[in-house]
Chain A
Amino acid sequence: MTSPYPILSIVGILIVVLSIAAGLIWLERRLLALWQDRYGPNRVGPFGLLQVLADMLKIFFKEDWIPPFADKYVFILAPAVIVVTVLLSFAVVPVAPGIIVTDLNIGLLFVLAMSSLGVYSVVLGGWSSDNKYALLGAVRAAAQMLSYEVFMGLSLMGVVLLAGSFDLVRIVEAQRHLWFVVPQFLGFVLFLIAGVAETRRLPFDLPEAESELIAGYHSEYSGMKFGMFFVGEYLGVTLISSLITVLFLGGWNGPVLPPIVWFLLKMFAFICLFILLRAALPRPRFDQLMNLGWKLLLPLALANLLVTGAVVLAKGT
C-alpha cells in the first residue's frame, strides 16, 4: 500500500512534523508552567502562541559562531545529522490509511537504524567542540544511547513476533481487535523508558545536565546550529510518541473519529507524558543510569522476548 499522491504525503508530513516540533516549545513551556503553578509565556498572541514565532525569529538573527579551536566541518555536520535522521524515520510512520511516505517491509528496522545513526550527532558535536564539558557530555551520550538502544530494539521484537512483520502498516492492521499494549505491556514500558533515554529528555538528560556540564555536548553551539539540536530533540519526542502509538496503541485504529484524529490524539497524549516526566522526575546519577539499563531493563527485555516467543510458538502449533 503506497500513497496515491506521494509528493503530497512527503511535503504534508514534513510540514506537519516540523510545525509540531516547533509548537512543542510553546506546549512544553506552558505545561511545565501549569504544573509548577506559573503562567508561562502568555503575552505574544493568543495564549502566547506566537511566542514560538518570536523565538524563531530571534534565533535566526543570533550570531552563528564557530569556535576557532573547533573541528570546523564536523562541527557544522553534527547538528544536521540529528534532524536528518529523525525526519527520515518519519518516512515509514503510517499516520492514517494512505498517508505514509513509503511502506518498507523492514520499516521498523529502518527506524532503529536511523535512531542508531542519530547518536553521531551528539557524539560528533561534543567531540568537535574541543571543550571538556562538551566532550564529557558526548562521552555520556555515547555510552547512554548505545546501552539503551540494545534493549530498545529487543523490547520491540515482541510486537514483531505478534504481528509477524517488520512492516509498520501491517503492525497497525494486526491491532484492529486488540492493541499490543495489552499482551506486550512489559515491552511497552521498556520501549517508553528507552525512548526517553534515546531522546535524551529528563530524567535521562545526563549528556547535557546543565547543573554540572553547562550544556553538555552543545555548550559551544549558538544561533541556528543550537536551534537544530533543540528542534532535533523535539522531533525525537514526536517520533517516539508516534512510534508508541503505532506499535502499542493501535495507530489510527479507533471508533467514531476519523483515523488521523485518533493518531494525533494518542501521539499528543504521549508528548504530554514526556513533558510531565520532565516536570516530575529528578536526574539520576550516571552509574545508576547504566546499572538500570544493563542489569534490570536488558534482562527484562530478553525475558519478555523469550516468553512472547514461547507463547507464539505454542499457539502456532
Chain B
Amino acid sequence: MEIVFYIASAIAVAATLLMLTRLNVVHALLYLVISLLAVAIIFYTLGAPFAAALEVIIYAGAIMVLFIFVLMLLNLGEAAVRTEKQWTRPRIWIGPSILAAVLVAEFVYLLTRSQGAGPVAAIGPEAVGISLFGTYLLGVELASMLLLGGLVGAFHLGLRKRTPEKAVEPAQRFTPEVAEPEEVLR
C-alpha cells in the first residue's frame, strides 16, 4: 500500500504542476482531472474508500465536466492560447514561487518533527454516514442551505434573461416542416 501511496502522490504533484503551466485551458483541466484521480487513490490508501469514491464522482466526474462544458460553449481557440502566453511571462512566476517555497520549507520542517501516523484503519461508508448525520449534523445542514441558496440564485439569474422570449412556446419554435425520416440502420 505504501508504494501505491507514493506513486499516486508523485502523480498528483506532477499533474498539478503541469496543470498550472498549460496554456491550453482544456489540457490544463485534463491534468487537473488526473490530479483529482490521484488524490482519490491517496484517500483509498489512507483508509477512506468512501471519500475516494466521492472525490471521483463529485470532483472528477461532475464539477470538472461542468467546467469543460462551459469551456466548450466559450469555444476558445488559438487566440486564447496566445493571450494566455502574453499573460504568463516567466516574470509572473517569481512571486508565487517564493510563497510556495516558504510553505514547502515549513511543511518539511513540520514533517521532520512529527512522529508519523499510527497504523491505518479503513473507515467504511456506514461510519462516515453516522458521523456526518450524528456529530456533524449541523455542518451538513448549513452546507446544504448554502448550496440551496446558490441553486436558487442561479435559477433566478437564468430565469430573468429568458423572460422576454417566453411568449413563444418551444413547440412552436421548432415545428419541423418535413416529417422526421425513419431511423437508418447503421
Chain A interface (Cβ < 8 Å from any Cβ of B):
29, 32, 71, 74, 104-106, 109-110, 112-113, 116-117, 119-120, 123-124, 126-127, 135, 138-139, 142-143, 145-146, 149, 153, 166, 202, 210-211, 278, 282-283, 285, 287
A128, B98: Cα distance in complex, Å: 36
Among the 9-residue stretches B13-21, B55-63, B107-115, B140-148, the one with 4 or more Cβ atoms under 8 Å from chain A is: B55-63
Q: Beyond the given A116-B62, A135-B72, could you list 10 further A-B residue pairs with CB under 8 A, ordered by the A residue number? A: A74-B30, A104-B49, A105-B49, A117-B60, A124-B26, A126-B72, A127-B72, A135-B75, A138-B72, A149-B61
CB distance from B81 to the nearest CB of A (A): 11
Q: In the complex, are the beta carbons of A29 and B185 less than 8 A apart?
A: yes
Across-interface contacts of A32 in B (CB, < 8 A): 185
Q: In the complex, are the beta carbons of B53 and A110 less than 8 A apart?
A: yes
Shortest Cβ distance from A128 into B: residue: B26
CB distance from A227 to the nearest CB of B (A): 12
Q: A29-B185, A119-B61 are in contact. Are A142 and B50 (CB under 8 A)?
A: no
Across-interface contacts of A139 in B (CB, < 8 A): 69, 72-73
Can you give 11 contacting A-B residue pairs, CB < 8 Å? A71-B26, A104-B49, A109-B54, A116-B60, A119-B65, A123-B72, A124-B30, A139-B73, A143-B69, A210-B184, A278-B183
- Nearest first, the 10 A-B pairs at minimum CB distance are A116-B61, A109-B53, A113-B56, A142-B69, A113-B57, A106-B49, A106-B53, A287-B170, A119-B65, A127-B72
Shortest Cβ distance from B57 into A: residue: A113
Q: A211-B181, A282-B180 are in contact. Are A123 and B53 (CB under 8 A)?
A: no
A143, B49: Cα distance in complex, Å: 28
Across-interface contacts of A278 in B (CB, < 8 A): 183
Task: Encode contact with A along B109-142: 1 for CB under 8 Å, 0 otherwise.
Answer: 0000000000000001100000000000000000
